[in-house]
Amino acid sequence: MKALITLYLVALSCLRASPVHCCADEQNFEFGGQDDFCAWLQPKEMWAKNEYCTLSLVGLACPDACLNCPTTRCEDADLCCRNDPTFTFKRRNGETSWCGWLTTKKKNQRKMYCDTAIENGPIIRDKCRGICDNCDDAPISAPPSPAPAPVTPWSFIVLADWHKAEYFATEPSRKTEYYIETENQIRFVNQKYGGDFVLMPGDTNGALPSESGGGKWDKEEFEKIFKPHLSVRKRIKKAGDNCYKSVKKLFLKGGYQKIYVALGDHEIGGNSWGLGNVRKIKALPAYRKAFSKWYNRDADQNLLFQEQIGLASSRPLETAFENTSYASQHKNMLIITVDVFKQMSTSFIDRTRGAGGEGTITCTVDGGHLKWFTNVLIEAKKDASIKFIIVQAHVPIIQPVRQVASSGQFMDYGE
């Protein structure tokens, strides 16, 4: 997917930090394919609200539909009675809920929850002020974060659609002319331009022409030239070991201790992923496992990037992306790397809105993956030590873009 990488700064203003009237849902808020999501959510039963209102993005946009509005003195109390629309807590049964859920509880049950202190967090009544009748006192604020220490100017390198690593899938020897040449090129970049790390938004491999190259390690043509005695999954594992291990070593020898790599289409066999291509579909877990093994784990196979961002996990746990999406802070910058390649149960295409079209793999961030992403942004906003946020993924969100030798795959429902 050459020349199709978008690297963009996230403007935290999208989190709607500016106060809005506590009972005004955002009109025409688009979410989950609904053009006016808040109006759609308003009449839904509590189980449906619980599914969506625990998402910070929805809670911020739909305070009325999510039952987060106080009954009195909202503006007189300078919004102190408004529930925190981004706050969630665990119920006794382990399920996640939000302040509005407490409206369904009887007074004594509500009081029990309101008086509960979250482990390493606030008392629920201080976040659910309207529901917990906690409007008379001044809002309790968390102590301000200490001012961050001055940061010496620093830089990093972006290397998108490198495609240079495919050679190593079948020939990882460090004695070849190609390996030595590549190592010298990386060392030159480091000596000439420096940089604390290298950001690589996907497609580190996949440059060789024909069906025997291009990262298509599941293909019969690749089988003919590499380890024909192995099964498809074991062949992908071996090719990944050769390819990605070489990449890690090359950048380390070239002077870069850290590389942050996003999953690209060539890391999962290259598009497309038609439903009839059973061999390729079955190989997808092997592709992702080979990628994560070398790019997102250390030599002992411990996951990298495990430090939480505030109260948010560094990875979208219990999702299909927990080993390929992650957030990591470097000095005063937060790097969020997102695997946008979602596997569907059937081929997906929405011709009217220009989504899908590449078989069973489409490019989106939704469900628990989106909730994790939103929570990371919210926690980052609270952290005074984070001044910049970069999000990297392999496909562009904003259209149109120039493309060369590309499928033209986009993020679904991009702008």
**Nearest by Cα to 207 from 150, 266, 265:** 266
Residue 299: the pLDDT is 85
**Nearest by Cα to 325 from 311, 340, 312:** 340
Mention every residue, 6+ apart, whose C-beta is less than 8 A from residue 19.
79
Residue 291: the pLDDT is 97
Has residue 141 got a pLDDT over 70? no
Has residue 274 got a pLDDT over 60? yes
Mention every residue, 6+ apart, whose C-beta is less than 8 A from residue 325.
315, 316, 319, 336, 337, 338, 339, 369, 372, 373
Has residue 367 got a pLDDT over 90? no
Mention every residue, 6+ apart, whose C-beta is less than 8 A from residue 228.
none
- The 8-class DSSP code of residue 312 comes to B
What are φ and ψ of residue 34, in 5° steps?
-95, 130
* Helix (H), strand (E), coil (C) string for 362-413: EECCCHHHHHHHHHHHHHHHHCCCCCEEEEEECCCCCCCCCCCCCCCCCCCC
Q: How confident is the model at residue 397 (pLDDT cuts 50, 70, 90)?
A: confident
Asked if 269 and 358 count as a contact pair (C-beta separation under 8 A), the reply is: no
Asked if 308 and 380 count as a contact pair (C-beta separation under 8 A), the reply is: no
Asked if 334 and 342 count as a contact pair (C-beta separation under 8 A), the reply is: no
Has residue 71 got a pLDDT over 60? no
Question: Which is higher by pLDDT, 79 or 389?
Answer: 389
Q: How confident is the model at residue 208 (pLDDT cuts 50, 70, 90)?
A: low
Question: Which is higher by pLDDT, 132 or 352?
Answer: 132
Interval 386-392 mean pLDDT: 96
Question: Which is higher by pLDDT, 20 or 370?
Answer: 370
Question: Which is higher by pLDDT, 273 or 120?
Answer: 273
**Nearest by Cα to 394 from 262, 244, 199, 247:** 262
Has residue 280 got a pLDDT over 90? yes
Residue 23: the pLDDT is 67
User: Which tens digits make up the pLDDT trace of 326-365?
Assistant: 999 999 999 999 999 999 999 888 877 778 889 999 999 9
In this structure, what token pair is assigned to residue 24? 């005004």
User: Which tens digits make up the pLDDT trace of 217-237?
Assistant: 999 999 999 999 999 999 999
CA dihedral 218, 220, 224, 225 (to 10 degrees): -40
Report percent pLDDT > 70 for the chain.
86
User: Which tens digits make up the pLDDT trace of 301-330?
Assistant: 899 999 999 888 999 999 999 999 999 999
Residue 305: the pLDDT is 94
DSSP 345-356: SS--EETTTTEE
In this structure, what token pair is assigned to residue 289? 């496992």
Residue 319: the pLDDT is 94
Distances (CA, A) of 54 to 101, 139, 278, 307, 384: 10, 22, 37, 23, 25
Report percent pLDDT > 90 for the chain.
49
Mention every residue, 6+ apart, whose C-beta is less than 8 A from residue 320.
342, 343, 369
Which run of H or E residues covers position 192? helix 177-193
Has residue 216 got a pLDDT over 70? yes
Residue 189: the pLDDT is 97
Task: Tell me which amino acid residue 106 is.
Answer: K
| Helix 177-193 / helix 232-253 crossing angle, nearest 10 deg | 40
In this structure, what token pair is assigned to residue 3? 């020349």
Question: Does residue 13 have a cis peptide bond before it, meaning omega lies within 30 degrees of 0?
Answer: no
Question: Whole-model pTM?
Answer: 0.71
Interval 271-288 mean pLDDT: 94
Residue 156: the pLDDT is 98
User: Which tens digits make up the pLDDT trace of 74-97?
Assistant: 444 444 467 888 788 888 888 888
From CA 394, how far away is CA 410, in angstroms rounded? 9
Average pLDDT over the chain, rounded to an integer = 84
**Nearest by Cα to 361 from 267, 263, 275:** 275
Has residue 181 got a pLDDT over 70? yes
Interval 203-223 mean pLDDT: 81
Residue 21: the pLDDT is 45
User: Which tens digits make up the pLDDT trace of 6-63?
Assistant: 333 333 333 333 333 446 888 888 887 788 899 999 999 988 898 888 887 788 888 8
